[in-house]
Amino acid sequence: MNSFQKIKVFTLDTLFPIHCISCNYEGLWLCEECLEKIPLKQEWTCPICEKNITPGGRVCFHCRKKSFLDGLLVAASYKENLISSAVHYLKYRFAKDLYIPLGKILTKALNNSGLPLPEIIVPVPLHKRRLRWRGFNQSELLAEYLGENLTPGFSIPIFNNLLIRKKYTQPQMKIKNYFRRKKNIENAFMIDTSSMSFSPLIRGDAPKGQRGQEYGMKKENFLKNKKILLIDDIATTGSTLFECAKVLKSAGAAEVFASVIARQENKK
């Protein structure tokens, strides 16, 4: 975190001391008691048509040819005030520690979903300009939590530099039109081939001398037949996730599932 970010966080903490956004318990943004009250989704629909009920949010039979994404697991409802407030605090009030309770929500939802365990987890990247402004990538924090907690005693590798956002786009939440959202994010991502040789360590930060040792394969073959879990905080139209899945599938991934904390109402 740079000096500007530290000043910004210090100022916010001074003006708005840390307390539970639900019950005002001091010292935590979301206490365990309030966290347990958040209902998780027990039923999911196809992320494409948003009509057919499917296990774990898999893409339904009729929509398979329309999407590179194999499924989208939505953990909770955005209409829950605690969910929408927590995501807002995390992204715009820089309440970084909220990734822990939100990570717990994602972990619990994934464990209840019946979806296959991924071989690697990939967070949706921020453009470097937005990353400098926020100081952290909330999707990366959530991915790191999942990597360490989804399978206790066994860490799932996180590749936080595998996908890069090559195009600086307008925030999707500010675009109301469905088709403009799709156009805005089109061709915004690419694979960073230099990161494809990383050894499977949490955070993808292996020293240069250790990169690629465990996989022992060529960069162009790294994603071949891999089962990937794509992580983001919020989805609306799903355009960002679909675009990321397209890039990953084009690089050889066998399956790409995605998981988000919540999905906002999609008005096409």
pTM over 0.85: no
d(CA 123, CA 161): 9
Q: Which of 130, 128, 120, 218 is nearest to 162 (CA)?
A: 120
Percentage of residues in the chain with pLDDT exceeding 70?
78
Whole-angstrom distance, CA of residue 228 vs CA of residue 118: 5
Where residue 98 sits, what CATH number does that domain have? 3.40.50
Residues 6+ positions from 15 with CB-CB distance below 8 Å: none
C-alpha–C-alpha distance, residues 154 and 161, integer Å? 21
Task: Look at the chain and report how many structural domains it folds into.
Answer: 1
Question: Does some domain include residue 18?
Answer: no
Q: Band of the pLDDT at 132, cuts 50, 70, 90?
A: confident
Contacts of residue 217, defined as CB under 8 A and 6 or more positions apart, other chains included, come to: none
C-alpha–C-alpha distance, residues 89 and 92, integer Å: 6
Candidate ranges 110-119, 124-133, 218-227; pick with highest mean pLDDT = 110-119
- Specify whether the CB–CB gap between 206 and 214 falls below 8 A: no
Q: 3-class DSSP state for residue 61?
A: helix
CA gap 17, 21 in Å, rounded: 11
- How many CB atoms sit inside 10 A of residue 207's CB? 8
Residue 255 belongs to a domain: yes
Report if residue 32 sits inside a domain.
no
Beta strands in 67-162 (DSSP E): 71-77, 120-123
CA distance 146 to 158: 9
Q: Is residue 162 part of a domain?
A: yes
177 part of a folded domain = yes
Scanning the structure block, which residue is given the tokens 């605090």? Answer: 89
228 within a domain of the structure (yes/no): yes
pLDDT in tens, 167-196: 877 666 666 666 777 777 888 899 987 655
Across all residues in the chain, what is the average pLDDT? 84
**Domain span at residue 229?**
40-263
pLDDT digits (tens, 9 = 90+) for 7-65: 555 555 555 678 999 999 998 999 999 999 999 999 999 999 999 999 999 999 999 98
Name the 3-class secondary structure at 190: strand
pLDDT tens per residue across span 212-265: 334 445 555 778 899 999 999 999 889 999 999 999 999 999 999 999 999 986
Q: Is the pLDDT score of 199 beyond 60?
A: no
Q: Is residue 214 a part of any domain in this protein? A: yes
Position 64, amino acid? R
Considering the domain boundaries, does residue 26 fall inside one? no
DSSP code for 150:
S
Q: What is the pLDDT of residue 92?
A: 87
Tens of pLDDT along 62-77?
A: 999 889 999 999 999 9
